[in-house]
Each structure stands twice: as structure tokens, then as C-alpha cells.
Amino acid sequence: MPKLDRYLSAEFARAVLAALVVLGMVSLGGVFADLIGEMAAGKVPPALLLSQLGLRLLGYLPLILPLALLLGLLLAVGRLYRDSEMHVLSAAGVGPVRLLRPLLLVAVPVLLAIAACSLWLGPWANRLARGMVIEANKNLLVAGLEPGRFTPMASGGVAYAGEMSSDGTKLARVFIFRERGDRMDVATARSGELYRDQGARVLALLDGFRVEGPLAGQALDYRLMHYARNEMQLPAPDDQRRMDDPAFKTIGELLADPAAPARAELHWRIAPPLLALAFALMALPLARSSPRQSRHGALLLAFLAYLVGIFLMILGTEWLATGQLPLAAGLWWLLLPMLALGAWLYARDGRVARPWRRR
């Protein structure tokens, strides 16, 4: 490999890797915040924090990698322009066609990684993460209740258990608060039992009191009762995505399914690597600048192009799934113009405009 290709490809690769690390850390913080919220609502067991964090981040890579490729190439080429290295290369006869080889040496592996994550690894991570949550929720120990902590219930209300046995079936010092319309229901018990009845979670309260009354007004409209055993069904988490959702299907299953949601999901997985190729071709023309020109304008323009492409991809996928867009159109109305624009910008980069002639 020529020294020029090694030098330029190393510069491009370092910049893309740096952009990927920064974007990955930002995305990791967002995924972590979402997981904490779901755990607080009892949708995800706390024991699955690290595994869910890694699997969900893997599913976001098809959206992170194209932006990292675009920003990394912009930063690398912009530095070459700022240090006048690109002007020296142009004077030596190195133009955009010659720069295509080191650009592809970095872009092609990233494109292959995006395609692998979008077509196979991302859906596999989603299926595995969802399956782990379903299996964990079958265990009564991680059914959403934790000793010494007030746990919000999916249908409204709060549950509390002061103590819990190791297998999660025996409770002590139980408190349950629920709202039913304009009335409240408060139950306390010395002990309780948690078990499953045909898949439903049932909490049996033993030796306790129950108070029922209005949330506001009518202060005398209360009922107090003492019971020896009181059984209530705990609501299931409200986020119960079925495993037959198109997002969890493999490529083969999507190809065999003629339904609109499956076709929309198929186009959603095909789009990221093609968009990343268009962004890679746009990077070199957008980064062109004079030595004293600021690079922030190019970065903002590139980020705007990325946002427009991603938003149109999301909107087009929704249109396909709901039947507002013909399935034959797919997302090609977005991908083909983006690729053509990237190729046109790259082909015209560095050309000198013809002077105007006066008659």
C-alpha cells in the first residue's frame, strides 16, 4: 500500500473512532436513563441492568455508526485543509479520485459493520433482550417487588413489602395503595404470599386491614374492614411487546412475510448502510475549506443532513407500516436521491468553474 494511502486512511480511521467513542458515550447515557426509568416502573428487573444496557446499545449502532463516519471524515479532512496538507496534495496532482481509495479503506469496513448490525446483530440483540426480560419476570423473585422499596404498579398505585424471602414467595409488612376512579383502596397486612395462577401474579395478604374511600370530599364515606386473607391480582407491566413483532423477526422471516409492517421493517434495516455510504461521499466536499475558514459550518451542515435523512427514514417506515406509502416505493425515494447527491457532490469536488466569456 502506498504511504499516502496509509497516512490518509490512518487519519480517517482515528477521527472516525474518536467520533464513535464520543457518540457511544452519549448514547450509553441515554439508554441508561431509559433503563432506570423502566426499572423504577417495574418493567425491567434490576438484575438485568448490564445485559440490557449492552444489548440495547448494540441495537442503536445502525443509527450511531453513520453519524460517527460522517463526523469523523469531516474532522479528518477539515484538519488536512486547515494545515494546508490538502492544498499540497492538490498541487502534487492528488485529487478527489485519488483520495477515493483511502476513503473507501475506512468507509467499507464501517459500512459492513453497519449492515451486520442493522440486518442481523441488532434484531438478534432485541430478541435476546426481550426474551431475558420475559424469562426474568416469570421468576417471582424479580417480579417487580423489592423489599424495603415502594414499587409503582403499572395500572396505578404503589406496593411495599418490608421483608421478602429468598424465593420471593413470602412477604412481611405489606402495604398496597390503589386508585379506582375517584376512590382509593389501601390494604395492609402482617404477611403475604406471592404466587402465579395461570400466568397471572396473585398476592395473598394475610391478617390485615383494608380501607376504602374517596380521594377527595365526603370525609365520612370510608369503609374499614379486617380480614384473615385477601387475594388481589397484581397488574402486568404495560410494556408487553409480543415476540412476533416485526422488530424481533429475522431477515428470512421478514422476506417471507408480505404484510406491510414486515416490509417496512425490512426497508428500515436496509436503509442505514446505504445512507452511511451517501454520507461518506458527502464528507469530502463538505469539508473543503480555506486555511483560515471555520470548520463549524460544515459540521452543522453535515449534522443537519444526517437529521433530515434519519427523520425521513423514520417517517417513511411509519408510512409503509400504516399503508400510506406503496410497498413498491419502499424507502428508495429517499435512498436513491441521497446516494445520487453524494456521488454528484464528490464528482464535482475540486473542479474549477469555467470563466464567463463576454461577447
Could you tell me which residue, 268 or 198, shows the higher pLDDT? 268
Q: Are 99 and 133 part of one and the same domain?
A: yes
> How many domains is the chain partitioned into structurally?
2
| pLDDT score recorded for residue 142 | 45
pLDDT score recorded for residue 294:
63
Residue-level pLDDT at 139:
54
- DSSP-based helix, strand, coil % in the chain, nearest 5: 60, 20, 25
- Nearest residue to 320 (alpha-carbon basis) of 262, 255, 359, 270: 262
What pLDDT is stored for residue 247 in this prediction? Answer: 83
Question: Would you state the pLDDT for residue 350?
Answer: 53
Is the residue at 334 inside a domain? yes
pLDDT, position 238: 47
Domain that holds residue 213: 155-234
Whether residues 213 and 159 share a domain: the answer is: yes
What is the CB neighbour count within 10 angstroms for residue 36?
A: 13
* Cβ 49 vs Cβ 137: under 8 Å: no
Query: Is 80 among the domain residues?
Result: yes
Classify residue 188 as exposed, middle or buried by CB count within 10 Å of its CB (0-12, 13-18, 19+). middle
The lowest-confidence range among 15-19, 59-63, 184-188, 355-359 is 355-359
Are residues 86 and 116 in contact, defined by beta-carbon separation less than 8 angstroms?
A: no
Strands (E), the chain: 151-152, 158-164, 170-180, 183-197, 200-214, 223-234
Domain boundary among 202, 234, 266: 234
Whether residue 221 sits in one domain with residue 102: no
Q: 190-194, 240-244, 277-281 — which is least confidently predicted?
A: 240-244
102 in Cβ contact with 80 (< 8 Å): no
* DSSP string for residues in 277-301: HHHHHHHHHHH---TTS-SHHHHHH
Please report the pLDDT score of residue 115 as a whole number.
Answer: 94
Asked, for residue 256, whether it belongs to a domain, the answer is yes
- Which of 133, 121, 123 lies closest to 249 in space, CA to CA? 123
Cell numbers at residue 97, please?
479520485
* Residue 274 covered by a domain: yes
Mean pLDDT of 51-77: 90
- The dihedral sign for the CA sequence 120, 123, 127, 130: positive
For residue 94, how many other CB atoms are within 10 A of its CB?
14
pLDDT at position 65 is 93
> How many C-beta neighbours within 10 Å does residue 138 have?
10
Mean pLDDT over the full length of the chain: 82
Do 252 and 169 share a structural domain?
Answer: no
Predicted confidence (pLDDT) at residue 217 exceeds the cutoff of 80? no
Residues 213 and 285 in one domain: no
pLDDT reading at 273 higher than 90: yes
User: How many CA atoms, within 13 angstroms, populate the side-chain half-sphere of residue 246?
Assistant: 20
Same domain? For 129 and 269 the reply is: yes
Beta-bridge partners for 234? 201
* Residue given cell 459492513 in the structure block: 112
Q: How confident is the model at residue 353 (pLDDT cuts 50, 70, 90)?
A: very low
Region 201-220: mean pLDDT is 79
Q: Are 121 and 29 in the same domain?
A: yes
Q: Is residue 160 domain-resident?
A: yes
- 301-320 residue pLDDT tens: 888 889 999 999 999 999 99
- Assess whether pLDDT exceeds 80 at residue 171: yes
Nearest Cα to Cα of residue 320 among 266, 253, 247? 266
Task: State whether 229 and 252 are in the same domain.
Answer: no
100 pLDDT tier (thresholds 50, 70, 90): confident
Comparing 234 with 4, the larger pLDDT belongs to 4
Among 196, 212, 234, identify where a domain stops. Answer: 234
**Are 17 and 117 in a shared domain?**
yes
Q: How far apart are CA 281 and CA 235, in angstroms?
A: 52
In a domain, residue 150? The reply is: no
Which pLDDT value is given to residue 140? 44
Residues 6 or more apart in contact with residue 48 via CB below 8 angstroms: 132, 133, 136
List the beta bridge partners of residue 191: 172, 206
Which of 200, 234, 268 is the last residue in one of the domains? 234
Q: What is the pLDDT of residue 141?
A: 44
pLDDT over 50 at 200, yes or no: yes
Tell me the per-residue pLDDT of 39-54, one tens digit each, with 9 for 90 and over. 776 677 777 888 889 8
Asked if residue 91 has pLDDT above 50, the reply is: yes
> Does the structure show a pLDDT above 90 at 328?
no
DSSP string, 54-87: HHHHHHHHHHHHHHHHHHHHHHHHHHHHHTTHHH
Q: How many residues does the chain have?
A: 359
| 253 plus 133 within the same structural domain | yes
Closest residue by Cα to residue 316 from 274, 282, 255: 274
What are the beta bridge partners of residue 354? Answer: none
- Of 51-60, 290-299, 304-313, the range with the lowest mean pLDDT is 290-299
Under 8 Å CB-to-CB from 259, ≥6 apart: which residues? 246
Residue 359: inside a domain, yes or no? no
User: What is the per-residue pLDDT for 181?
Assistant: 74
Is 325 found in the same domain as 176? no
In which band, very low, low, confident or very high, does the pLDDT at 154 lie, cut at 50, 70 and 90?
Answer: low
β 170-180/158-164 pair status: antiparallel
Is 239 a residue whose pLDDT tops 70?
Answer: no
Q: Identify whether residues 254 and 332 lie together within a single domain.
A: yes
Q: Is residue 354 part of a domain?
A: no
DSSP state of 147: B
Q: Which residue has the cell 423489592?
A: 146
On whether the CB atoms of residues 156 and 180 are closer than 8 A, the answer is: no
Q: Is 37 helix (H, G, I), strand (E, B) or coil?
A: helix
